[in-house]
């Protein structure tokens, strides 16, 4: 037997014994004291997680590592096994992960709606429109500046669908009035505020940041297509190094009656309206059928 073959054989035996030892020692292959949550910048910017996560950490004696990115990036983290649990707002893309087996569950947690915000002067004249397609076409025809997140987030995905519904595709063309910033919701709204421009935002983030956005107003709202659904998804444990137990606990936590009540009450008194409407146990279809009104 050659020396190289002998060395290879010993290396293989050593690898197997190492794996066996790790298994017998009870090493789960991940940090049992940490939950990695991949979520959206818009949800993180709203401040809601700052209220909820400390409660979960205290109850479960675990540290939650929040990674706030665009929904597209958050979903990729799930596919690649780099997060334990996902909290996002792109239903079509989420269902693709569920069907592919990248996540083992998808549970609706809450919803709000998207609004088109813009300067009080409203140079495009879209204030009061409830047909978002008509509003976007009017903005495009006027040449008024529209700021896009351009970051593959849930909000950006929704914006592209809405432009398509309006028969337009400004992101694939060169327009002076269409500004792609490749940033999160907070930064995008800041740019829109500075430039007296229009933008699509979720209502929760806009309300939470409204004190710093004095130049912007909600102008287009009420179209059923603007409903915005947030779901929690547990990443498939077969991807390895996934804290399955903590992910399941967090999913259950978000849908508990007391936590759902906290979600519905978050900053409601300050703004005179809810930033998020609790939705555990409901479906997108049911909520859409009643026009987004709270159940």
Give the model confidence (pLDDT) of 194-209 as tens digits.
999 999 999 999 999 9
Give the model confidence (pLDDT) of 48-76 as tens digits.
999 999 999 999 999 999 999 989 999 99
152: number of Cβ within 10 Å: 20
The fold of 34-111+228-289 is D-Maltodextrin-Binding Protein; domain 2 (3.40.190)
Give the model confidence (pLDDT) of 143-165 as tens digits.
999 999 999 999 999 999 999 99
**Contact call for residues 54 and 262 (beta carbons, < 8 A):** no
Give the model confidence (pLDDT) of 175-185 as tens digits.
999 999 999 99
Domain ranges (residues) in the chain: 34-111+228-289, 113-226
Q: What is the C-alpha separation between 57 and 20, in angstroms, rounded? A: 32
Give the model confidence (pLDDT) of 21-43 as tens digits.
333 334 456 789 999 999 998 89
The answer to whether domain 34-111+228-289 and domain 113-226 are alike in fold is: yes
Give the model confidence (pLDDT) of 74-112 as tens digits.
999 999 999 999 999 999 999 999 999 999 999 999 999
Element (H, E) at 233: strand 227-234
Give ∠ CA 38-41-42 in degrees, rounded to 5: 125
Q: What is the C-alpha separation between 76 and 181, in angstroms, rounded? A: 21
Give the model confidence (pLDDT) of 249-281 as tens digits.
999 999 999 999 999 999 999 999 999 999 999
**Contact call for residues 240 and 29 (beta carbons, < 8 A):** yes
Q: What is the C-alpha separation between 85 and 221, in angstroms, rounded? A: 31
- The CATH code belonging to domain 113-226 is 3.40.190.10
């Amino acid at each position: 037997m050659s020396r190289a073959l002998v060395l290879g054989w010993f290396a293989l035996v050593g690898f197997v014994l190492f794996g066996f030892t790790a298994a017998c020692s009870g090493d789960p292959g991940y940090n049992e004291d940490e939950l990695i949550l991949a979520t959206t910048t818009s949800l993180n910017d709203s401040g809601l997680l700052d209220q909820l996560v400390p409660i979960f950490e205290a109850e479960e004696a675990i540290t939650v590592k929040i990674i706030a990115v665009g929904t597209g990036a958050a979903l990729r983290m799930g596919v690649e096994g780099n997060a334990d649990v996902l909290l996002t707002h792109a239903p079509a893309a989420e269902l693709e992960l569920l069907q592919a087996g990248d996540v083992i569950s998808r549970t609706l947690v809450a919803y709000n709606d998207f609004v088109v915000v813009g300067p009080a002067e409203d140079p495009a004249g879209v204030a009061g429109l409830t047909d978002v397609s008509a509003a976007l076409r009017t903005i495009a025809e006027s040449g008024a500046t529209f700021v896009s997140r351009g970051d593959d987030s849930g909000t950006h995905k929704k914006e592209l669908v809405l432009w398509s519904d309006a028969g337009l595709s400004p992101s694939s063309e060169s327009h002076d009035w269409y500004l792609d910033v490749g940033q999160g919701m907070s930064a995008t709204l800041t740019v829109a505020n500075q430039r007296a421009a229009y933008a699509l935002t979720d209502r929760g983030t806009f309300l939470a940041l409204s004190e710093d956005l004095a130049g912007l107003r909600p102008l287009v709202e009420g179209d059923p297509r603007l409903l915005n659904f947030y779901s929690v998804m547990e990443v498939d444990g077969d991807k390895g190094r996934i804290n399955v137990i903590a992910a399941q606990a967090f999913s259950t936590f978000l849908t508990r009656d007391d936590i759902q009540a906290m979600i519905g009450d978050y900053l409601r008194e300050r703004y005179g309206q809810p930033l998020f409407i609790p939705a555990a146990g409901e479906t997108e279809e049911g909520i859409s059928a009643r026009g987004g009104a709270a159940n």
